[in-house]
Chain A
Amino acid sequence: MTRFGKAILGLCIFGSAFLALVNASADTHKECQSSACVDVQGAGINQCSTNAHCDTECSVNGVGTGGLGSGSKCGECTGGACAGEDVGADCELNPASFGGSFSGGIKGKCEAQDFCSNADPGGKNYEGACGMQCLCKVKSKKAAEVEQAVWCENCGS
């Protein structure tokens, strides 16, 4: 390899390491831990931005609900398939509106979109520890196809 080639290779390695370092430091998110909002390493959805989102009674439109939502729970603002579930829990969606290709519910996982106090779902004003705004997301295309194939095998019997 020529001297020029070595220089280019060195520059690439140094650049990649620098970018990886920058990305790693950027990959943090906030979570409620022991009633405080703390920075956690790794990518993820923020559960809070201040301690009040972890340690203060959830209120909707200024009225206290008497509840203290956990950062890992689908909270006060979650309706539908994930109401009352944990973030990452299994959920089932109504198959009736899907054209009848599924016999049981369409299975998915509860994914957090944002925390209720930040999102304003339903045009309501959530404050305090109201938990997460979750929606049910269907498994990957491949997993869904496998599930459908298994179901079709059972269809005939």
Chain B
Amino acid sequence: MKELAGCVSICRAFLSLRVAYSVSALIILSFVSLPAALADTHWVCQSFSCVQVQGSGPNQCYTDSDCNTECSVNGVGTGNIYAGDKCGECTSGACAGKELGDECTVTIGMMSTGSIGAHSGTASITAMKKGKCGSSSSCSFGDPGNKNYAGACGMHCACDVAPDNLAQVCLGEPACEELIGS
């Protein structure tokens, strides 16, 4: 009988140790994984609401107003409403009217000065580079052009020609026409 009682107490001790271990492991795991999980989320506009989604990315909104209210510039309505992933009211240039991740083309050089014998002058050369429309913030949380954007104004985009963004350079008109057209 004594042996049986001893066995039961040993089993209990072992079980309580296992439980304690599991609880500790869970606590440690939550401390390690929670900040990582929280860091890897961002806010996007879905069906006129601002919702948190998994994964990293630029925030499109912070409140529902950033998704469901007419875009206004300096307090005056524009009559437009932008989807969260659209390059918005504050985007001009190569990414105007495009979506995040769309291809874009920027001019990287236009003029060249040189001389042949006694003649010198400036010739225009078209040089362009292809990239992708990237964004780090929405129009409403930037202040691009020192204007106050509010509501669903879309994203503030710029053409990014980083090497991993399919960077291609063309020189001269036929080559550039081909690049832009492709």
Q: Which residues of A contact B (CB under 8 A)?
A: 77-83, 91, 93-94, 96-99, 101, 106, 108, 111, 113, 119-123, 133-141, 144-145
Contact = CB atoms under 8 A, between A and B. Distances in A.
Interface string B102-121: 00000000000000000000
B126 interface: no
A99 B68 contact: no
Contacts of A94: 79-81
Contact of B68 (A80, A96, A138): A138
Contacts of B79: 79-81, 93-94, 136
A30 B130 CA distance: 56
B82 interface: yes
Nearest to B67: A138
Given A135-B151, A136-B69, A144-B48, A97 B86 contact: yes
Q: How large is the interface on B (under 10, 10 to 19, 20 to 34, 35 or more residues)?
A: 20 to 34
Given A79-B78, A121-B72, A135-B69, 8 more contacts: A80-B70, A82-B70, A94-B79, A94-B81, A96-B80, A123-B74, A134-B77, A144-B48
Contacts of A136: 69-70, 77, 79, 81
B142 to A, nearest CB: 17
Nearest to A148: B47
B95 interface: no
Contacts of B49: 141
7 contacts: A80-B72, A93-B80, A97-B83, A97-B97, A111-B69, A121-B72, A136-B70
Query: Dominant SS at the A interface?
Result: mixed
A97 B69 contact: no
Interface in B55-105: 65, 68-70, 72, 74-83, 85-86, 88, 97, 99
A78 B48 contact: no
Contacts of B77: 78-83, 134-136
Contacts of A96: 80
A79 B78 CA distance: 6
A97 B83 CA distance: 7
> Which 9 residue pairs spanning A and B have beta carbons closest together?
A80-B77, A121-B75, A80-B79, A136-B70, A79-B76, A93-B81, A138-B68, A99-B83, A135-B70
